[in-house]
Amino acid sequence: MPALQSRGRGGRHRRLVNEINVVPYIDVMLVLLVIFMVTAPLLPPGSIDLPTAGRSQQKSEAYIEARLEKSGRIALVTMNAGESIRQEATERDFVARVRQMGAGASLPVVISADKERPYGDVVKLLDLLQRENIRAALMVKPGP
């Protein structure tokens, strides 16, 4: 209920005071602050169990890495397939060389490109592989 303030003689003219008295709220906040300051050191410190990453026991899957070099050449290298085979390819004979190395039925193709090559060149290689129903993926390597 708003406070009434008398004005003039005998309190005939009373006016409403439209102000909120915030002193009780400040008192409550100070009491809460003291309670938190006293109880905070008594609480046990929280511990977070972070997950750890270990080495996989499963052998890595074999694949063919198509490296799109800065000069535009495409180097094909078999990875994790025993003996590593390396071949050079052009955009025209790319799919034929990949098929020759065993892609399609058994080996997927992973494309990695030099960062200075336009992304459109990578998309062209992905499109060629997709048209031939060869599994393809992109590889990102951390920079120096």
Asked if residue 15 belongs to a domain, the reply is yes
Asked if residue 112 belongs to a domain, the reply is yes
Instruction: Note whether 69 and 19 are same-domain residues.
Output: no
Asked if residue 45 belongs to a domain, the reply is no
Band of pLDDT at residue 142, cut at 50, 70 and 90: low
7 pLDDT higher than 90: no
Please give the average per-residue pLDDT across 67-94, as a whole number.
83
What's the pLDDT at 100? 82
Residue closest to 75 by CA, chosen among 14, 37, 117, 120? 117
- Round to whole Å and give the CA distance between 141 and 144: 9
78 pLDDT higher than 70: yes
Residue ranges of the alpha helices (H) in the chain?
23-39, 94-100, 119-131
Residue 12 is given by DSSP the state -
Q: In total, how many domains does the chain have?
A: 2
Q: Report pTM.
A: 0.53
Residue type, 125: L
Instruction: Note whether 28 and 88 are same-domain residues.
Output: no
What's the pLDDT at 136? 86
The CATH number given to whatever domain includes residue 128 is: 3.30.420.270
68 pLDDT higher than 60: yes
User: pLDDT per residue over 95-119, tens digit each?
Assistant: 888 888 876 667 788 888 888 889 8
63 pLDDT higher than 90: no
Domain extent, residue 99, equals: 63-138
> Which residue did the predictor score with more confidence, 79 or 120?
120
Asked if residue 48 belongs to a domain, the reply is no
Instruction: Note whether 29 and 76 are same-domain residues.
Output: no
Residues 98, 134: contact at Cβ < 8 Å? yes
> Which residue did the predictor score with more confidence, 56 or 33?
33
Asked if residue 19 belongs to a domain, the reply is yes
Instruction: Note whether 33 and 86 are same-domain residues.
Output: no
Instruction: Note whether 71 and 125 are same-domain residues.
Output: yes
